[in-house]
A = this chain, B = another copy of it.
Amino acid sequence: MTSQTITRYRQKFETELFDRVIPFWLKHSPDEENGGFFNCLDRDGTVYDTRKHIWLQGRETWMFSKLYNDVGQKPEWLHMANLGAKFLREKTIQPDGRVYFSMTADGKPVYLQRKIFSECFYIMALAEYSRATKRPEFLAEARLELQKVWDWAFDWTKVGRPAYEGATPMRMLAVPMILLNLIEEVAGDEIAPYMPKIEDCISQMRLHIHEEVQTVFENVSPNGSLVDNPDGRLLNPGHAIEAGWFLQHWAQRLGRPDLQDIAIQMVRWSHDAGWDQEYGGLYYFLDADGYSPTALEWNMKLWWPHCEAMYAHLLNYSLTGEGEDLKRFEETTTYTFNHFPDPEFGEWYGYLDRYGNVTHRFKGGPYKGCFHVPRALWLCWKKLKAMEFPLE
């Protein structure tokens, strides 16, 4: 990219992030009465469901803490982080460390998943919030919770999911991936005590990366071999791309060129396999052998894989300088900005059909909140700034 192009992109991401996305959440999401955020927000910000989804409570708390720590100490950002952290700590977590999936606005439990992800976003939130408030006890809380999640992560019977005799033993990419990201968040500069866990996660993630077929599989056998059923053949290109940049961050931090190369490749393969050559955009799911995935939404184009891909390609390009990575970045960014943003009310639509038509008008729902859009815009903006002024 020429320096002019870099500047143009930097401005594009900056404007979108600070003028159109963050203001939407600042204006419509805070629940000043109960703490936490309304996350089910219609196109114009109207609350269409007052219930709170805890993945998104944690993620929004993390996002505003991160902006406060990394971009500038705006009181309104800290206020948002305070609201989220208060609700998270007072309402969402049980004495045993399990965190609910959804609650009423005032914090009565609605549903508890037999999964570990509410807990993961709780950890992420508290770690970053601790830095925003300079209160180390929250980081200690986050680290203690990570210890529990680590214990549960590889045996979900511990969070109440039964293991039946006929179920094929499988590893999910999601687990080592989110743990790697969490360690990045909670470790701060103190990597050393986390090194065994980091290496463990990297080894486990590599079980999913099959160089012989240039494919990242969502689910594999415990030894990494392929499982010949729809679960084993499942590809989730956006997820594999996200895993790619999580791994790349560690490759850079640990100074590991072998991992750098693998992380570059997993982003490239997953993009190329997942890109719809006819209508553009990344499919949500695919089957590695070309069968129709059984999930009804497989051919939809979701906001978050595109968010992840923009940043992953930009990160690749910043490392390789290669035209093919730039091409993927530009292709993804063009599609993304042409389809997802809503210039009228701010924030982005989340769901398009295969052809790129918006299918759901809301900006926030049970799985979409203040997270992937601002995180990707912020990461790209930071990276572009670093490319713009490489000597700083």
Residues of A within 8 A of B (CB): 40, 42, 48-51, 100, 103-104, 107-112, 162, 164-167, 229-230, 291-294, 296-300, 351, 353-355, 359-362, 365-366
Complex formed: what's the CA distance from A100 to B166 in Å?
Answer: 11
Cβ contact within 8 Å between A291 and B111: no
By CB atoms of chain B within 10 A, which of A48, A108, A298 has the most?
A: A48
Cβ contact within 8 Å between B351 and A353: no
Could you name 23 residue pairs across A and B whose Cβ atoms are closer than 8 Å? A40-B294, A48-B230, A48-B291, A49-B229, A50-B229, A51-B166, A51-B229, A107-B166, A109-B165, A110-B164, A111-B164, A111-B167, A292-B360, A292-B362, A294-B360, A294-B366, A296-B300, A296-B359, A296-B360, A298-B359, A298-B360, A299-B359, A354-B359
Nearest Cβ on chain B to A77's Cβ, whole angstroms: 28
Cβ contact within 8 Å between B110 and A167: yes
Further 19 A-B residue pairs, CB within 8 A, beyond A51-B166, A110-B167, A353-B354: A48-B291, A49-B229, A51-B229, A107-B166, A108-B165, A109-B165, A109-B166, A109-B167, A112-B164, A291-B361, A291-B362, A292-B359, A292-B360, A293-B360, A294-B362, A294-B365, A294-B366, A296-B351, A355-B355
Complex formed: what's the CA distance from A277 to B125 in Å?
Answer: 45
Note all chain B residues with C-beta closer than 8 A to A353: 299, 353-354
Cβ contact within 8 Å between A108 and B292: no
Complex formed: what's the CA distance from A228 to B42 in Å?
Answer: 15
* Nearest-CB residue, chain B, relative to A111: B164
Nearest Cβ on chain B to A193's Cβ, whole angstroms: 36
Nearest Cβ on chain B to A329's Cβ, whole angstroms: 27
Copies of this chain assembled into the complex = 2
Complex formed: what's the CA distance from A360 to B285 in Å?
Answer: 12
Cβ contact within 8 Å between B49 and A112: no
Cβ contact within 8 Å between B292 and A361: yes
Complex formed: what's the CA distance from A252 to B257 in Å?
Answer: 75
Nearest Cβ on chain B to A290's Cβ, whole angstroms: 10
* Nearest-CB residue, chain B, relative to A48: B291
Complex formed: what's the CA distance from A365 to B49 in Å?
Answer: 32
Note all chain B residues with C-beta closer than 8 A to A162: 112
Nearest Cβ on chain B to A87's Cβ, whole angstroms: 13
Note all chain B residues with C-beta closer than 8 A to A48: 230, 291
Cβ contact within 8 Å between A104 and B351: no
Cβ contact within 8 Å between B300 and A166: no
Note all chain B residues with C-beta closer than 8 A to A366: 294
Note all chain B residues with C-beta closer than 8 A to A361: 291-292
Nearest Cβ on chain B to A68's Cβ, whole angstroms: 30
Cβ contact within 8 Å between B104 and A166: yes
Note all chain B residues with C-beta closer than 8 A to A365: 294
Complex formed: what's the CA distance from A108 to B164 in Å?
Answer: 8
The 9 closest A-B pairs by CB, nearest first: A108-B166, A296-B297, A104-B166, A109-B164, A292-B360, A110-B166, A108-B165, A49-B229, A292-B361
Note all chain B residues with C-beta closer than 8 A to A359: 292, 296, 298-299, 354
* Nearest-CB residue, chain B, relative to A107: B166
Note all chain B residues with C-beta closer than 8 A to A110: 164, 166-167
Nearest Cβ on chain B to A382's Cβ, whole angstroms: 31
**Which one, B42, B165, B354, contacts A291 given CB within 8 A?**
B42
By CB atoms of chain B within 10 A, which of A296, A297, A355 has the most?
A: A296
Nearest Cβ on chain B to A345's Cβ, whole angstroms: 14
By CB atoms of chain B within 10 A, which of A40, A292, A353 has the most?
A: A292
Complex formed: what's the CA distance from A291 to B44 in Å?
Answer: 12
Complex formed: what's the CA distance from A297 to B302 in Å?
Answer: 13
